[in-house]
Structure 1
Amino acid sequence: MKTMSSGLAAHLDGEVTTLACLWRLERADGWVRGFTDHDQDIAYLGLNYVASTGFLPSAIKSGADLSVDNLDVDGFLDDDALKPEDLTAGRFDGARIDIMLVNWANLAQGHVLLRRGWLGEVKRADQRFSAEVRGIANRLQQTSGQLYSRLCRTDLGSAECTVDLVPLTDTLTISAVASGDTFTVPTARSSGFYTFGICTFLTGANAGAATEILSQIGQSVTLFTPMSRLIATGDQVRLVAGCDKTIETCHSRFSNVLNFRGEPHIPGNDKVFSYPVRD
């Protein structure tokens, strides 16, 4: 059941309404921005909701059977706050979104909260984007618990892993750029040290973006995917050692086999076919 002020309820019951939708978007890094489908900006509760992006919501469906609610939001990438590079880099993944309905002619009547959720899959084409809004019920469909695995289930440096990442982390300056996903840094680490690790850009056009490292051969580092913005000589990066999650690497490189979270000795399908067949 939606709650609203008596004034807004009376306005909704009227023959003529002056309604507008507001979208409040908050990323995980604390970045907050407001958008509206009204033809003018709306200042509400200390935030300016800009009208330049042309947001269009799909029909909002809610049920009492705990089924996942459906809602998509479409819009144009014509606002400085919504850059294609940021969408591609995943900076809006998991961002919280509140969708409200207000009477733009009398904002003192308050709002009714239509939906609260998180951004899921984001697609873009040309100068348009489409974002899926996932409600709380979506979390009931997520797999919980742990599965048996030949490889370790934890990330290097996590609480279960316990490996200290401080001596395995380096802050370096890019000395040469080969492409959008390959660059050179002055490191004395052996080849493969950063493979499957994390690269975080500290300065430059990609500052704040983090991505996985595909491989490291000598001083050459290759990322899994090209960065959304140009990598430039002089950019500072923070490189963290990687782990291929095998028990051999856990033992030989990190001496942490007691905290290995995998089952490397469980027989697989190849064991089934190795038994002799009886006539």
Structure 2
Amino acid sequence: MSGAQGRRCRAWRVTRADGAVLGFTDHDRDLEWEGCRFRAGTGLSAGQIELSTGLAVDNAVAAGALSDAAVTEGDIARGRFDGAGVELWELDWAAPEGRRLLFRGTFGEVTRAGGAFEVELRGLAEALNVPGGRVFQRTCPAVLGDRSCGVDLSAPGMSVEARVGAVAEGGRVLRFAEAPALPPRRLERGTLRVLDGAAEGVVAAIKEDRQDGDWREVALWFAPGAAPVAGDRVRLEVGCDKRIGTCAGAFGNAVNFRGFPDLPGEDWLVRRPVPA
């Protein structure tokens, strides 16, 4: 093989949701263009890439080695690569301006084991698989604190910061010696955000909020990949059960309620008049 054909290589550009841009190449030297350095030997290699016309979803699988300089196990556990944008280029390393884009999409599921990781790549048509439109239901479909809800979670009584006193069940249960200044069970269906420590940036959904003796316990639905430890500072945000009574009573936000509380149930179809 000679000439430009013998100088072919591949390069990856990964853009995370936090704005960090990482470059990788299978060439034996670093490459650079458009202000991005594509590092050699750091690791991404692709299997077969399936490309199609029409609206079918293009997909691929990439694998690489975990390293402190590129993709770390901690960053994966904290979800920093979730939904990251990815571009795969084929190019002549001696003349990168003539590069050809082979694939553009996002990171899907990322798995890691034995110092390596494997990531599912999803094409741009993947977004068309997301259900759209509005659902007519009794409960509110809005997420507490989002634009359609309108509740300000930074307002007094909506969230509280606290230091983790102890951790149990592999990080699924957090205990606080100084009980958060919120009524019991107020945090159920709420959100936990880790503000510092090794697990900084981790966000998890709260399942239970209970008092256990001198401890206030918060149980998560799942143990996060990077769990906070005793001494870490977290932010605890209140939850909502999506009912009109809670929206009006606990938040004074009935005007923004997005559900249909008077919608008849399925049993309405088989009801019949009775003498009573």
Q: Verify same fold: TM over 0.5.
A: yes
Listed as ranges, the matches of 1:121-270 within 5 Å are: 121-166=109-154, 167=156, 168-179=158-169, 180-185=171-176, 186=178, 187-218=180-211, 219-270=216-267
Bigger fraction of residues in strand: 2
Letter in 1 for 2:242: K
Pick one of 96, 103, 110 that aligns with 2:85: 96
Segments of 5+ residues of structure 1 without an aligned counterpart are: 1-11
Instruction: Report the 3-state secondary structure (helix = DSSP H, G, I; strand = E; otherwise coil) of the residue aligned with 1:86.
Output: helix
Q: CA deviation at 1:151?
A: 1.6
| 1:243–1:200 CA distance, 2 compared to 1 (3 A) | same
CA distance in 2, matches of 1:173, 1:271: 50
Pick one of 7, 17, 25 that aligns with 1:36: 25
Given that 1:53 and 1:79 are in contact with CA atoms closer than 8 Å, whether structure 2 keeps it comes out as no
Of 237-246 and 177-186, the range deviating more from structure 2: 177-186
CA distance in 2, matches of 1:257, 1:263: 12
Letter in 2 for 1:263: F
Instruction: Report the 3-state secondary structure (helix = DSSP H, G, I; strand = E; otherwise coil) of the residue aligned with 1:258.
Output: helix
Instruction: Report the 3-state secondary structure (helix = DSSP H, G, I; strand = E; otherwise coil) of the residue aligned with 2:128.
Output: helix
| 1:113–1:196 CA distance, 2 compared to 1 (3 A) | same
Of 163-172 and 35-44, the range deviating more from structure 2: 35-44
TM-score, reference length from structure 2? 0.84
Given that 1:41 and 1:51 are in contact with CA atoms closer than 8 Å, whether structure 2 keeps it comes out as yes
Instruction: Report the 3-state secondary structure (helix = DSSP H, G, I; strand = E; otherwise coil) of the residue aligned with 2:247.
Output: helix
- Post-superposition CA distance 1:48-80 (Å, at most 9, x none): 323334422133333332322222222233454
| 1:231–1:266 CA distance, 2 compared to 1 (3 A) | same
Q: CA deviation at 1:23?
A: 0.8
Q: Does 1:67 align with 2:64?
A: no
Q: CA deviation at 1:264?
A: 2.8
Of 85-94 and 156-165, the range deviating more from structure 2: 85-94
Of 146-155 and 266-275, the range deviating more from structure 2: 266-275
Letter in 2 for 1:140: L
CA distance in 1, matches of 2:229, 2:129: 42
| 1:43–1:220 CA distance, 2 compared to 1 (3 A) | same
Paired residue total:
264
CA distance in 1, matches of 2:174, 2:221: 12
Given that 1:73 and 1:131 are in contact with CA atoms closer than 8 Å, whether structure 2 keeps it comes out as yes
- Post-superposition CA distance 1:172-231 (Å, at most 9, x none): 222333341222232121111111111111111111221111121132112222132342
Q: CA deviation at 1:96?
A: 0.9
Letter in 2 for 1:172: A
Q: CA deviation at 1:268?
A: 2.7
Segments of 5+ residues of structure 2 without an aligned counterpart are: none
CA distance in 2, matches of 1:154, 1:135: 28
Q: Does 1:26 align with 2:23?
A: no
Aligned to 1:5: none
- Post-superposition CA distance 1:28-57 (Å, at most 9, x none): 111221112234443444333233344221
Q: CA deviation at 1:144?
A: 1.5
| 1:228–1:67 CA distance, 2 compared to 1 (3 A) | closer
CA distance in 2, matches of 1:196, 1:18: 55
| 1:243–1:78 CA distance, 2 compared to 1 (3 A) | same
Percent identity, aligned pairs only? 37
CA distance in 1, matches of 2:48, 2:73: 25
- Post-superposition CA distance 1:90-131 (Å, at most 9, x none): 221111111111222x14544222222211232334433332
Instruction: Report the 3-state secondary structure (helix = DSSP H, G, I; strand = E; otherwise coil) of the residue aligned with 1:251.
Output: helix
CA distance in 2, matches of 1:248, 1:39: 63
